[in-house]
Amino acid sequence: MKQFNVPIEYRSPLITAIKQYRKAQDKLKKDFSPTLLDLGKVQIFLARHFGFCYGVENAIEIAFSTVAENPGKRIFLLSEMIHNPQVNADLSAMGVKFMQDTYGKQIISFDEITTDDVVIIPAFGTTIAIETLLESKGIATAKYNTTCPFVEKVWNRSEQIAEKGYSIVIHGKPKHEETRATFSHASVHTPTIVVNDMAETIELAKYIQGEKPAAEFYETFKGRYSEGFDINKDLVRFGVVNQTTQLATDTQAISDYLKNVMIRKYQLTAETIDQHFADTRDTLCYATNDNQTAVGGMLSTDADLAIVIGGYNSSNTSHLVELCEAKLPTYFIDTPDRILDGNTIVDCNWHTKEQRTVTGFLPEKKPVRILITSGASCPDAVVESVIKKIASFYGAEDLIEKQMTFFQ
């Protein structure tokens, strides 16, 4: 896989050594057990896969090189480059201006953009309408486009099945940048609708099967369907694609549920299923799959708590928290600073994004066993800083160097 030029301050000698060691030991990525850092009074179990993915490193390389190659020019980002506070703060400190927030609320008007400006499209991609608007102003959108290749893969797959007469059901968070972008690119080719979760999928199935009157559909799913969508005609033949950072198991469950609905409604067989339902399993992101599967492997370890590190508005990170908290006490932090001392941590509720201060988060027992993972947009250096901070509470900083020597 391509190696990207990512700022050294985002790298971690410790994490790099561990990842290279695990890769050499498990080239086919079949071992999802965690990596143990035995620091005496505290034991850290690191997920097999975590941190920067291909799409994130690609976006960071393009963004930082764009700033370096355009001195004196005004540089804008359509929204956050990725959902990581450190990376976005670093870009802001370099003079990059953010035009929208993560939900599409305008911060800087497009009217302020001129032909001489540089506009970077973030890793999530953007809508066709915004691309067209920028191009009308003379902005070369393709030149500074950091859209993740795996997001584009979903767009391409949507277009492919649209050409075969299928409509599209997107499993995604309706307000998320990536979902908005995918919806735009899919709906230009075929009728498209967004479902957020299984509950909404079950409701949608009631309209597909005629259990609920069609007139109610347009209010229930208001803002979720493409212009001219006809509930009586447009879900006779469709496929399910995903926002790449959703739980892979959730997307598969939604797809399986709707597939079974179509089988029952049209009395389909394995040979005739494609008459009404498209196979789109190839739209699941490899990094999302790997990180989530690695959490599953990590959770098989007997531990006292889990710490998940990443941006609070990061969808993929939130799902890692969701997986961990179903098994044991879990704390969601975006920086090492959220760990105030050996007794106190500031945790973020992944549902509400509200923060709370928790005391006594580290148990009195020895050794304390802690599971740690991070989202796809979290620098490895942040993970190392968290490990070092925790180690300092147990006087185990020197043991980290010994562990790194073992993995080198």
Q: Which pLDDT belongs to residue 284?
A: 72
Q: Which pLDDT belongs to residue 247?
A: 81
401 is catalytic: no
Question: Domains in the chain, ordered, with CATH?
Answer: 8-53+287-407 (3.40.1010.20), 54-136 (3.40.50.11270), 150-284 (3.40.1010.20)
Q: Which pLDDT belongs to residue 1?
A: 61
How would you write the chain as a 3-class SS string? CCCCCCCHHHCCHHHHHHHHHHHHHCCCCCCCCCEEEECCCEEEEECCCCCCCHHHHHHHHHHHHHHHHCCCCCEEECCCCCCCHHHHHHHHHCCCEECECCCCCECCCHHHCCCCCEEEECCCCCCHHHHHHHHHCCCCCCCCECCCHHHHHHHHHHHHHHCCCCEEEEECCCCCHHHHHHHHHHHCCCCEEEECCHHHHHHHHHHHCCCCCHHHHHHHCCCCECCCCCCCCCCCCEEEEECCCCCHHHHHHHHHHHHHHHHHHHCCCCCCHHHCEECCHHHCCHHHHHHHHHHHHHCCCCCCEEEEECCCCCHHHHHHHHHHHCCCCEEEECCHHHECCCCEEEEECCCCCCEEEEECCCCCCCCEEEEEEECCCCCHHHHHHHHHHHHHCCCCHHHHHHHHHHHC
Given the residues 80, 178, 322, 384, select the one marked as catalytic: 178
Q: Which pLDDT belongs to residue 83?
A: 85
Q: What are the 10-residue block averages of pLDDT along the chain, 408 residues in total?
A: 85 95 93 96 97 92 95 94 90 95 91 95 94 94 92 94 96 92 96 97 96 95 96 96 85 94 95 93 80 96 97 92 97 97 97 96 95 96 97 94 85
Determine if the pTM surpasses 0.75: yes
